[in-house]
């Protein structure tokens, strides 16, 4: 008996008998230059009804503390920002059984992470879950996500981000708070992911 694998691949080859493979692909359209990258990024993130606060490098800790408004917070081990009273999640390399359980995380109000890249055109933040961002669960379960993005991390559009990102890492692209349009296509912010996204943009 042939395996499903062999049979499917044979069927694919039979279906394409005489079909030439495609030639070189036309390049996707390049990105138009943007005058004020950071300004566009802020505008587009706010368009999703996320909160954006711009601050200087020496104001980050205070800005984050203000965003947390005294609630409990979890931070990744490599955040590099002082968040008094926060719970530090062990580094991603150590295996998530040792870290906080999903139920533990459900009892925490907020998470503070860094980001890998910001996309101006679409108002998107991409996490690659390095040490300053932590494993995926910590930026998902708490209801408030405070995300610190440096101005020099902002790129113009999706192709710039794709070029920078490493597909070997788990990646999470975030464009505003969680949302749904499933009821009469009426957009509602806040379903299962963090209902509030607060971006701290460091200039």
Partner 1 sequence: MTGGTFVGMPAFPEAARAALGDTQLRHNLAHATHTIRDKRARVVAEVEEWEELRVAGTAVKEAALRDLATHLEQLEASLTARGATVHWARDAAEACAIVARVTHAHGADEVVKVKSMATAEIGLNEALEAEGIAAWETDLAELIVQLGDDLPSHILVPAIHRNRAEIREIFRRRMGDVGRPAPDDLTDEPSVLAAAARAHLREKFLRAKVAVSGANFAVAETGTLVVVESEGNGRMCLTLPEVLISVVGIEKVVPTWRDLDPLLRLLPRSSTGERMNPYTSMWSGVTPGDGPQEVHVVLIDNGRTRALADDVGRQALRCIRCSACLNVCPVYERVGGHAYGSVYPGPIGAILNPLLNGVSDPQTASLPYASSLCGACFEVCPVRIDIPSVLVDQRAQVVDSHRGDAVPKPEAVAMRATAWAFSDARRLRWAHRASGGAGRVLDRLGRTTLPGGRRAAGRLPGPGAAWTSARDLPAPPAESFRAWWQRTDGGRR
Interatomic CA distance for residues 139 and 171, integer angstroms: 12
The residues near 143 (Cβ < 8 Å, ≥ 6 apart) are 109, 110, 194, 195, 196
**Backbone φ, ψ for residue 44 (5° rounding):** -70, -35
Taking CB under 8 A as the rule, does residue 3 contact partner 1? yes
Angle, vertex CA 106, rays to CA 103 and CA 112, nearest 5 = 125
Touching partner 1, residues 113-172 (CB under 8 A): 119, 121-124, 129, 135-137, 140-141, 157-159, 162-163, 167-172
Taking CB under 8 A as the rule, does residue 183 contact partner 1? yes
Touching partner 1, residues 50-89 (CB under 8 A): none
Closer residue to partner 1 (CB): 86 or 139: 139
Taking CB under 8 A as the rule, does residue 95 contact partner 1? yes
Closer residue to partner 1 (CB): 21 or 84: 21
Touching partner 1, residues 22-41 (CB under 8 A): 22, 25-29, 32
The first and second tokens of residue 100, run together, are 């906080």
């Amino acid at each position: 008996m042939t395996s499903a694998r062999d049979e499917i691949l044979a069927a694919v080859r039979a279906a394409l008998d005489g079909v030439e493979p495609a030639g070189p692909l036309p390049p996707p359209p390049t990105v138009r230059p943007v005058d004020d990258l950071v300004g566009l990024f802020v505008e587009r993130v706010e368009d999703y009804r996320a909160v954006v606060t711009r601050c200087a490098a020496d104001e980050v800790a205070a800005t984050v503390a203000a965003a947390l408004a005294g609630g409990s917070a979890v931070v990744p081990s490599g955040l590099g920002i002082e968040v008094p009273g926060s719970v530090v999640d062990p580094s991603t390399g150590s295996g998530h059984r040792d870290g906080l359980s999903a139920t533990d995380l459900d009892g925490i109000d907020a998470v503070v992470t860094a980001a890998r890249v910001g996309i101006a055109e679409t108002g998107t933040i991409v996490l690659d879950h390095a040490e300053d961002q932590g494993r995926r669960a910590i930026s998902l379960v708490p209801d408030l996500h405070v995300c610190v993005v440096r101005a020099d991390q902002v790129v113009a559009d999706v192709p710039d981000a794709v070029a920078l990102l490493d597909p070997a890492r788990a990646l999470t692209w975030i464009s505003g708070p969680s949302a749904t349009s499933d009821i009469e296509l009426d957009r509602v912010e806040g379903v299962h992911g963090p209902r509030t996204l607060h971006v701290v943009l460091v200039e």
